[in-house]
Structures are given as C-alpha cells and as structure tokens.
Amino acid sequence: SSELTQDPVVSVALGQTVRITCQGDNLRTFSASWYQQKPGQAPVLVISDNNNRPSGIPDRFSGSSSRNTASLTITGAQAEDEADYYCNSRGSSGDHVVFGGGTKLTVL
C-alpha cells in the first residue's frame, strides 16, 4: 500500500466545486504536488509545492495543505477536468518519491 492515501473515486456536478485529498504522515513535513492524467496521455503537473500553479494551468485549480492532508480543489469543474489525479511527495525515508494511489474524477 502507498504511503499517500487518496480516495479512489470522486464525482462532481458540472460547474460545482470538488476537493480531492491526499493523506500521509510525510505531508506533515514535506510538500505535495498534484498531477492530472487523462486516458492515453502522460501526466501533467497542475499544482506544485502544495499551492503553486504552473503557468498554463487554469486558475480554477488550487492546492492547500493542513497537518497530514494535502488537497486539490477545482472550483467550477469543467467536463475536461474529468481525469485521474495523483499526489506525490517525499517518502518516509526522506530521499525517495512516493505517489498516492490516484483519484478518478468524474464530472456529472
């Protein structure tokens, strides 16, 4: 099992707000990044260092972190946001990388 835990499936109504979470003890110390992966495509970084949005990523994507939980929030979800979302951070050993198990987001 992964050191980072994500809900496997989350759904949101079109235009509504959804929060995807990532839990792990490592997150008390290290920041998290978030990746979006659409079917048949490579992942894309959407949030880094808990709350930084790379250029080109829509501002409806935001991130936050509190205690052992990092969150990705999509405010006003669009149909094109339907995808798998993965968090990552440092592992418990400190020098390794770990990914969460992923969350499949469905936009209804």
Partner 1 sequence: QVRLVQSGAEVKKPGASVKVSCKASGYTFIAYYIHWVRQAPGQGLEWMGWINPHSGGTNLAQKFQGRVTMTRDTPISMAYMEVTRLRSDDTAIYYCAMGGAIKLNYWGQGTPVTVSS
86 binds partner 1 (CB under 8 A): yes
43 vs 76, beta carbon nearer partner 1:
43
**Would you say 106 and 83 are in contact if contact means Cβ atoms under 8 Å apart?**
no
Q: Is 79 in the site for partner 1 (CB under 8 A)?
A: no
Which residue from 60, 67, 66, 35 is spatially nearest to 48, judged by alpha carbons? 35
Among 10, 21, 44, 69, binds partner 1 (CB under 8 A): 44
Tokens of 24: 């792990």
Q: Which residues of 45-62 are buried (b: 16+ CB within 10 A; e: fewer)?
A: ebbbebbebeeebeeebb
Q: Give the nearest distance from C-beta 12 to partner 1 in angstroms.
A: 21
Minimum CB–partner distance for residue 16 and partner 1 (Å)? 26
Beta carbon of residue 49, minimum distance to partner 1 (angstroms, whole number): 7
The one among 5, 7, 21, 43 contacting partner 1 by CB under 8 A? 43
Give yes or no for residue 89 binding partner 1 (CB under 8 A). yes
